[in-house]
């Protein structure tokens, strides 16, 4: 199947079980689109009711609808393995837990040359044998979104450091450009044109830290009466956030505006960007986007965020789940606009150099070709699931397929 892995274009399949639309799904879409632009043939396998599936069709990406329901596992396994064989797929890249089990087994059964697992979040991976089986037997290589995730998986899980790399998400600097026209958000919200807009962009999840931002907002508003807060995104925590808004009388200056596709324009309108997450972050796309748009940034010192943002140079870092420290950092930025502007300029330069779309895609291509080349040189063609298991584990793959713990 591999005639000349260092030269020819590849057939690449991404699988994603998630139904929602956030940083992880956006990254999958970006990889599909950018690899196609480089001449590779890309496919995505996703549930037909997922946002990713619908958006892939809009972008004319080959999208295959597939239920990820546990009860359909073996039927879907056979169908997916047949597809991999028929299309002679070179690379399968899995993302969420459920599709990692399904596509991992299918790729092994079909003899796909390279199977990759992308770990998007910083939550620690279990050291159980089923998780190790999923990462190291069903997949050849692990890609993470930050160096911190990679180091933790090597140190805590004892994964082979030669088979794992950090490839932070790259930003399209043509889209997130300083020349983009504003969205006139102040006019949309009925605010004065000279009002201060502080914005947060994320899926509304518990660990994104929205309660901490709302607790900090009142202190900022007292110091700067012209300050207003905009929360962009949708998610499972919307009701709780709305309740906190109402119970603390914040609804006059904190606005929940839901999901938006005009993120560059939204960022153009903001005076400052805030990211108060307290867990699970790799290198967040919204943070990179804000830095690319030359916005002063205040963010929590968690996950991969400090890899991108050096406090005092590219923005300010604060302790997670510390609303007072968060408010103080926001107030400091507003009280020192010259300093904030210099950090914003430095932040954009940093993203341009290290976190562009071209850098990310180039790193991914290098991993594909290098790993395929090494396997070819070693005559390490993909084997069936039975042949990759040690003798004492024969038959345990069926148990793994049935249990499928989160990975």
> pLDDT tens digits, residue range 186-207?
999 999 999 999 999 999 999 9
**What pLDDT was estimated at residue 126?**
95
In the chain, what percentage of residues exceed pLDDT 90? 88
> Range with the lowest mean pLDDT among 42-56, 233-247, 252-266, 363-377?
363-377
Residue 5 has pLDDT above 70, yes or no: no
* Mean pLDDT, residues 142-162: 96
Confidence category of residue 381, pLDDT binned at 50, 70, 90: very low
CA-to-CA distance for 13 and 43, rounded, in angstroms?
A: 5
> Range with the lowest mean pLDDT among 69-83, 194-208, 368-382?
368-382
* Mean pLDDT, residues 101-126: 96
**What pLDDT was estimated at residue 374?**
86
Residue 30 has pLDDT above 50, yes or no: yes
Please state, rounded to an integer, the average pLDDT across all residues of the chain: 92
- What is the Cα gyration radius of the chain? 22
* Mean pLDDT, residues 395-400: 54
Cα-Cα-Cα-Cα dihedral sign, residues 51, 266, 233, 361: positive
Q: How many CA atoms lie within 13 A of 339 on its CB side?
A: 13
- Helical H runs in 51-146? 51-58, 73-87, 97-110, 129-136
Largest CA distance in the chain: 72
Residue 394 has pLDDT above 60, yes or no: no
* Mean pLDDT, residues 350-376: 94
**What pLDDT was estimated at residue 405?**
67
CA-to-CA distance for 314 and 351, rounded, in angstroms?
A: 10
CA-to-CA distance for 28 and 17, rounded, in angstroms?
A: 11
**What pLDDT was estimated at residue 274?**
98
> Range with the lowest mean pLDDT among 7-21, 81-95, 380-394?
380-394
CA-to-CA distance for 20 and 238, rounded, in angstroms?
A: 14
Cα 25–Cα 368–Cα 379 angle in degrees, nearest 5: 135
**What pLDDT was estimated at residue 182?**
84
Walk me through the domains of the chain, giving residue ranges and CATH numbers. 11-170+356-403 (3.40.50.2000), 185-354 (3.40.50.2000)
CA-to-CA distance for 224 and 153, rounded, in angstroms?
A: 43
**What pLDDT was estimated at residue 2?**
47
**What pLDDT was estimated at residue 313?**
98
Confidence category of residue 386, pLDDT binned at 50, 70, 90: very low
**What pLDDT was estimated at residue 1?**
47
Q: What are phi and psi of 235, to 5 degrees?
A: 165, 180
CA-to-CA distance for 31 and 257, rounded, in angstroms?
A: 28
CA-to-CA distance for 68 and 48, rounded, in angstroms?
A: 10
**Exposure of 245 by Cβ count < 10 A (0-12 exposed, 13-18 middle, 19+ buried)?**
buried
Cα-Cα-Cα-Cα dihedral sign, residues 200, 235, 52, 143: positive
Quick check: helix, strand or coil at residue 11? strand
Confidence category of residue 345, pLDDT binned at 50, 70, 90: very high
CA-to-CA distance for 74 and 106, rounded, in angstroms?
A: 10
* Mean pLDDT, residues 56-65: 97
Residue 259 has pLDDT above 60, yes or no: yes
Residue 349 has pLDDT above 50, yes or no: yes
Token pair listed for 24: 């992880």
* Mean pLDDT, residues 376-391: 51
Q: How many CA atoms lie within 13 A of 77 on its CB side?
A: 18
Is the pTM of the predicted complex or chain greater than 0.75? yes
**What pLDDT was estimated at residue 400?**
58
Residue 3 has pLDDT above 50, yes or no: no
DSSP 22: S
Residue 407 has pLDDT above 80, yes or no: no
* Beta carbons within 8 Å of 41's beta carbon, 6+ residues apart: 9, 10, 11, 12, 62
Quick check: helix, strand or coil at residue 287? helix
- Helical H runs in 92-196? 97-110, 129-136, 147-155, 185-189
Residues 264-296 have pLDDT tens digits of: 999 999 999 999 999 999 999 999 999 999 999
Nearest Cα residue to 149 out of 317, 287, 304: 304
**What pLDDT was estimated at residue 397?**
55
Confidence category of residue 379, pLDDT binned at 50, 70, 90: very low
**What pLDDT was estimated at residue 382?**
41
Quick check: helix, strand or coil at residue 318? strand
Confidence category of residue 389, pLDDT binned at 50, 70, 90: very low
Q: How many CA atoms lie within 13 A of 60 on its CB side?
A: 2
């Amino acid at each position: 199947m591999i005639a000349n892995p260092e030269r020819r274009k590849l057939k690449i399949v991404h699988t994603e079980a998630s139904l929602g639309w956030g940083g992880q799904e956006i990254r999958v879409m970006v990889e599909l689109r950018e690899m196609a632009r480089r001449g590779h043939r890309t496919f995505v396998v996703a549930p037909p009711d997922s946002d990713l599936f619908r958006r892939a069709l809009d972008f004319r990406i080959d999208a295959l609808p597939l239920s990820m329901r546990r009860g359909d596992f073996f039927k879907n396994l056979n169908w997916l393995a047949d597809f991999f064989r028929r299309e002679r797929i070179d690379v399968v890249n899995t993302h969420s837990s459920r599709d990692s089990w399904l596509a991992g087994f299918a790729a092994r059964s079909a003899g796909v040359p390279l199977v990759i697992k992308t770990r998007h979040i910083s939550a620690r991976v279990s050291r159980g044998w089923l998780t190790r089986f999923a990462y190291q037997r069903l997949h050849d290589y692990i890609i993470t979104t930050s160096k911190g995730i990679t180091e933790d998986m090597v140190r805590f899980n004892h994964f082979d450091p030669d088979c794992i790399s950090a490839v932070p998400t790259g930003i399209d600097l043509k889209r997130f450009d300083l020349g983009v026209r504003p969205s006139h958000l102040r006019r949309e919200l009925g605010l004065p044109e000279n009002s201060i807009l502080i914005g947060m962009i994320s899926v509304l999840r518990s660990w994104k830290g929205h309660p901490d931002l709302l607790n900090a907002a009142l202190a900022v508003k007292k110091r700067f009466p012209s300050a207003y807060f905009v929360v962009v995104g949708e998610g499972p925590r919307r009701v709780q956030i709305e309740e906190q808004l109402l119970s603390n009388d914040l609804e006059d200056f904190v606005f929940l505006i839901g999901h938006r596709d005009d993120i560059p324009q939204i960022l153009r309108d903001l005076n400052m960007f805030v990211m108060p997450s307290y867990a699970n972050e790799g290198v967040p796309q919204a943070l990179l986007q804000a830095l690319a748009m030359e916005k002063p940034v205040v963010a929590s010192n968690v996950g991969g965020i400090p890899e991108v943002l050096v406090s005092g140079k590219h923005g300010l870092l604060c302790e997670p789940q510390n609303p007072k420290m968060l408010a103080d950092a926001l107030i400091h930025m507003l009280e020192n606009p010259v300093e904030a502007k210099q950090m914003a300029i430095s932040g954009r330069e940093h993203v341009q150099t290290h976190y562009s779309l071209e850098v990310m895609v180039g790193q991914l291509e290098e991993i594909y070709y290098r790993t395929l080349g090494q396997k070819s040189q070693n005559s390490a063609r993909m084997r069936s699931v039975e042949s990759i298991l040690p003798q004492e584990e024969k038959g345990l793959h069926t148990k793994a397929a049935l249990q499928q713990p989160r990975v």
